[in-house]
Chains A and B, each alone.
Chain A
Amino acid sequence: MKASRWLAGMAALAWSGTAALAQDTYEIWHYYAAGSELAGMNALIEAGNAASPDTQFTGVIIPGNVVELRRQLQTAFLSGQPPALYQSSMAYELKTFVDGGRLHPLTDVWSRIKGDEIFPEGVQRVVKVDGVPYGVPFDLSLINNVFYNKAAFEKLGLQPPTDWDSFTAACTALREAGYQPLGNAGGPFWSLYNFYAALVSVVGEDGYYKIARGELGFDSPEFREALDLYRDRMVSCYAENWSGKTWTQTADDVINGDTAMFMMGIWVAAYFEQANFLAGEGFDMFQAPGTAGKSIFQMDVLAVPEGTEGSIAAAEQFIEAAASTEGQAAFAVPKGSLAPNVNVDPSVYGYAGSTFSRQFAEASQANAVLPNLFFLLPTSVGTELGVQIERFAIDPSDTVKEELVTTLEGLRQQALTDNAFIQW
């Protein structure tokens, strides 16, 4: 009898402890599972928790990327148990969840953090749906930089290329000297990010947004010209066997001096530095031809699912801390990305980060900040664009080019019929 009472007492205690824990602890779902990404996310959560000791957040890692996170979220939404906060991609990703009635509008917290003042205009437009903010940026990475091995350039007396001609000349010189001139990696993102340089060169910022809005066709002369430019100037410069490598394997090739250049998101700078291949010493960077003065960026935001009053209030409290200069720096510095908040002091970054920060500030001033087209397009069109560009990079024949144009234009027409494009 005594034993059963004791057990009942313990159970009650455990239950009350769990209930108390459930009241104060919320989850933030993300897919930053290792290395500098996880370090950044942990630092952000720590900063958020320090700012509001009464509501504590714990990070829940969903291994993989945005695809795996969507799967987990879908199950959570169907069961009515979404997290209080999660890492979301920008633009069309947010719209899909908003259209499904899954996200809480962040109008109040946006005005408290002065979102219209602290984030550049190009950033703001991809976190708002019909003018209402649904995500708060915390992780911004430029994707139009070419990183190069300084020793290789110095050995051949090369200067960082400034236009397509000097880029091609550098490629030729590097190949003749036994280097693989330009690294790339397999997967639907990396060739696409490289292609943006050619695309922006031909269509400019206006044309870029026209494609995003579905106004400029994939069968247009401009898009075809961009494909030709990409084929002639970049694909011809790619390292052998690039399509069989991951981006980290290609980054290793740059560190080892086998490959001289690598156009990749700025997270590769953090990877280099972790390998003691230091910015300004081992490697340096320049903006890809056609994108000088512009910033093409990839960004993640914090999104708040519709939920209880308590979870929404806790999430908004966390967001206030995450959007502050301290919160933004807490994530960006260990991650090796840029803080989207323009008030973050550039001195928090090292050599690489301050270079990116300067590029982004200049692009913001010139209103030349371009979000990743992949996420501006309807999901099926953006995903197919990535796959088709990779296929074209592997086999840059006219046949593949025409198949690419036909496939993408068919999807564009379907998306137009479905009224799926957003007027960014």
Chain B
Amino acid sequence: MAIQPTRRFSRTDWTHLGFLALPTLLFAVFYIYPVISSIRLSLHSWDGFAPTMRYVGFQNYLSLAQDTRFLGAVRNNVIWVAFMLVVPSGLGLLLAAILDRGIRGERAFRIIFFLPFTIPAVAVAAIWRWMYEPDNGLLTTVLDLVGLGGLAQNWLGDPGVVNYALMGAVAWWTTGFAFLVFFAGLRNVPVECIEAARIEGATPWQVFWKVSFPLLWPSTIIVLGMSAIDAMRLFDVVWATTRGGPAYSSDVLATLTYDLAFGRLEMGRATAVAVYLMAIAAVIIMPYIIYMSRRVQDSEAE
């Protein structure tokens, strides 16, 4: 019977473990512990100030599942995901493709397109609160000037319009990020591939969709992944602009969480919403991350 040699930790192994210890500790303290603590809190009733909590089991989860406000916030979050995946990402790609053709003033346009993304969310909200002033705001005034005053709306005050208005503001704010990533991606597409396609007689449209766009997939991963995550954790612009109103019509799960926690002092219910948000985000985003991870592995294998 062969004796297995004893595996001893070498100095290098200890060094590796040492380097791993800190991030592992940080992950445990700042991610694992808060998640477990939140799940525990979601099973209690607590106003955030009382010295004790009352255990209520799954009551917070069950009552939320029948709450029209909660269901409305879930619906809004799902709509935001669809919007963020399509509009800012699509616009960013479009702007990047236009600018990649080498038009005059490219550098200035690059700055102009990206500039809104550098503005803090609260400032974006303040800007658009004025833009959307329903009688004298810039948007209504411009529509009046061009003879389209009939299209003017009560932008932030009509429950049927407010979400679209917020999406307009967010599109203005975040398209610059998608643009920059796609633009950098386009600049990294090998010139030989494009030249070869042109020599073969491909039209500019075919060159873009058959050659450039497929080679952009690393950029696409980043943009779509970040967009979906941003949509699920959306809070600051909505809170600073409408606080989820009027009458909950622009609520998303993060604003609902915040309002329940600090507006109504229902910490248990608020945390239950946060746990729901985590679960919903996982259901929506995890398949994408798994799919993309496999693509990366396949790509590395090739």
Question: Which A residues have a C-beta under 8 Å from some C-beta of B?
Answer: 67-68, 70-71, 74, 77, 96-97, 99-102, 186-188, 240-246, 249, 253, 258, 379-380, 383, 387-388, 390-391, 394
B154, CB-defined interface residue at 8 Å = yes
* Residues of B with C-beta under 8 A to A74: 48-49, 262
28 contacts between A and B (CB under 8 A): A67-B258, A68-B262, A74-B49, A96-B265, A99-B50, A100-B49, A100-B50, A101-B51, A186-B242, A240-B134, A241-B134, A241-B157, A243-B157, A243-B158, A244-B132, A244-B133, A244-B134, A244-B156, A245-B157, A253-B135, A380-B266, A387-B247, A390-B246, A390-B247, A391-B247, A394-B158, A394-B159, A394-B247
Most buried by A among B51, B155, B247: B247
B129, CB-defined interface residue at 8 Å = yes
- Residue of B at shortest CB range from A75? B48
Determine if A244 and B262 form an interchain contact, defined as CB atoms under 8 angstroms apart: no
Bound: A388/B245 CA distance, A: 11
B44, CB-defined interface residue at 8 Å = no
* Residues of A with C-beta under 8 A to B133: 244-245, 249
* Residues of B with C-beta under 8 A to A67: 258-259, 262-263
B115, CB-defined interface residue at 8 Å = no
B230, CB-defined interface residue at 8 Å = no
- Residue of A at shortest CB range from B45? A418
Question: Which B residues have a C-beta under 8 Å from some C-beta of A?
Answer: 47-51, 129, 132-135, 154-159, 242-243, 245-248, 258-259, 261-266
Q: How far is the CB of A348 from chain B (nearest CB, A)?
A: 34
Bound: A71/B265 CA distance, A: 10
* Residues of B with C-beta under 8 A to A246: 129
* Residues of B with C-beta under 8 A to A186: 156-157, 242, 245-246
Bound: A102/B259 CA distance, A: 22
Among A70, A97, A253, the residue within 8 A (CB) of B262 is A70
- Residue of B at shortest CB range from A100? B49
Determine if A244 and B157 form an interchain contact, defined as CB atoms under 8 angstroms apart: yes
* Residues of B with C-beta under 8 A to A388: 247
Determine if A96 and B49 form an interchain contact, defined as CB atoms under 8 angstroms apart: yes
Q: How far is the CB of B191 from chain A (nearest CB, A)?
A: 50
Q: How far is the CB of A65 from chain B (nearest CB, A)?
A: 10
Bound: A70/B247 CA distance, A: 22
Q: How far is the CB of A114 from chain B (nearest CB, A)?
A: 30
Q: How far is the CB of B226 from chain A (nearest CB, A)?
A: 27
* Residues of A with C-beta under 8 A to B156: 186, 244
Among A102, A188, A244, A390, the residue within 8 A (CB) of B154 is A244
Determine if A258 and B135 form an interchain contact, defined as CB atoms under 8 angstroms apart: yes
Among A68, A99, A245, the residue within 8 A (CB) of B134 is A245
Top 8 A-B residue pairs of the complex, sorted by shortest distance between their CB atoms: A244-B157, A243-B157, A100-B49, A391-B247, A241-B134, A244-B134, A241-B154, A244-B154
Bound: A379/B47 CA distance, A: 10
Q: How far is the CB of A363 from chain B (nearest CB, A)?
A: 30
Determine if A96 and B47 form an interchain contact, defined as CB atoms under 8 angstroms apart: yes
Bound: A380/B266 CA distance, A: 8
Bound: A68/B258 CA distance, A: 10
Among B129, B154, B245, the residue within 8 A (CB) of A387 is B245
Determine if A71 and B247 form an interchain contact, defined as CB atoms under 8 angstroms apart: no
Bound: A13/B266 CA distance, A: 46
Q: How far is the CB of A416 from chain B (nearest CB, A)?
A: 17
* Residues of A with C-beta under 8 A to B246: 186, 243, 390-391, 394
* Residues of B with C-beta under 8 A to A387: 245, 247-248
Bound: A68/B49 CA distance, A: 15
Bound: A188/B242 CA distance, A: 11
Among B47, B261, B263, the residue within 8 A (CB) of A383 is B263
Determine if B245 and A390 form an interchain contact, defined as CB atoms under 8 angstroms apart: yes
* Residues of A with C-beta under 8 A to B158: 243-244, 394
Beyond A71-B262, A187-B245, A243-B246, 15 additional pairs, beta carbon < 8 A: A70-B262, A99-B47, A100-B49, A240-B135, A245-B135, A245-B157, A379-B264, A380-B264, A380-B265, A383-B263, A387-B245, A387-B247, A387-B248, A390-B247, A394-B159
Q: How far is the CB of B262 from chain A (nearest CB, A)?
A: 5
Given the contacts A243-B246, A390-B245, A97 and B49 also touching, CB distance less than 8 Å: yes
Determine if B155 and A70 form an interchain contact, defined as CB atoms under 8 angstroms apart: no
Q: How far is the CB of B4 from chain A (nearest CB, A)?
A: 52
Bound: A240/B155 CA distance, A: 12
Bound: A102/B157 CA distance, A: 38
Most buried by B among A74, A99, A102, A388: A74
- Residue of B at shortest CB range from A394? B246
Among B50, B155, B263, the residue within 8 A (CB) of A244 is B155
* Residues of A with C-beta under 8 A to B135: 240-241, 245, 253, 258
Q: How far is the CB of B182 from chain A (nearest CB, A)?
A: 34
Given the contacts A96-B265, A253-B135, A77 and B154 also touching, CB distance less than 8 Å: no
Determine if B157 and A394 form an interchain contact, defined as CB atoms under 8 angstroms apart: yes
- Residue of A at shortest CB range from B165? A244
Bound: A244/B131 CA distance, A: 11
* Residues of A with C-beta under 8 A to B261: 71
Q: How far is the CB of B133 from chain A (nearest CB, A)?
A: 6
Q: How far is the CB of A377 from chain B (nearest CB, A)?
A: 12
* Residues of B with C-beta under 8 A to A77: 49
- Residue of B at shortest CB range from A387? B247
Bound: A70/B48 CA distance, A: 9
Bound: A337/B157 CA distance, A: 29
Bound: A387/B47 CA distance, A: 20
Q: How far is the CB of A250 from chain B (nearest CB, A)?
A: 10
- Residue of B at shortest CB range from A388? B247
Given the contacts A99-B50, A241-B135, A246-B129, A383 and B245 also touching, CB distance less than 8 Å: no
Bound: A245/B246 CA distance, A: 11
Determine if A379 and B50 form an interchain contact, defined as CB atoms under 8 angstroms apart: no
Q: How far is the CB of A252 from chain B (nearest CB, A)?
A: 8
Bound: A243/B132 CA distance, A: 12
- Residue of A at shortest CB range from B162? A244
* Residues of A with C-beta under 8 A to B247: 387-388, 390-391, 394
Determine if B265 and A379 form an interchain contact, defined as CB atoms under 8 angstroms apart: yes
- Residue of B at shortest CB range from A389? B247
* Residues of B with C-beta under 8 A to A244: 132-134, 154-158
Q: How far is the CB of A245 from chain B (nearest CB, A)?
A: 7
Q: How far is the CB of B11 from chain A (nearest CB, A)?
A: 33
- Residue of A at shortest CB range from B69? A387
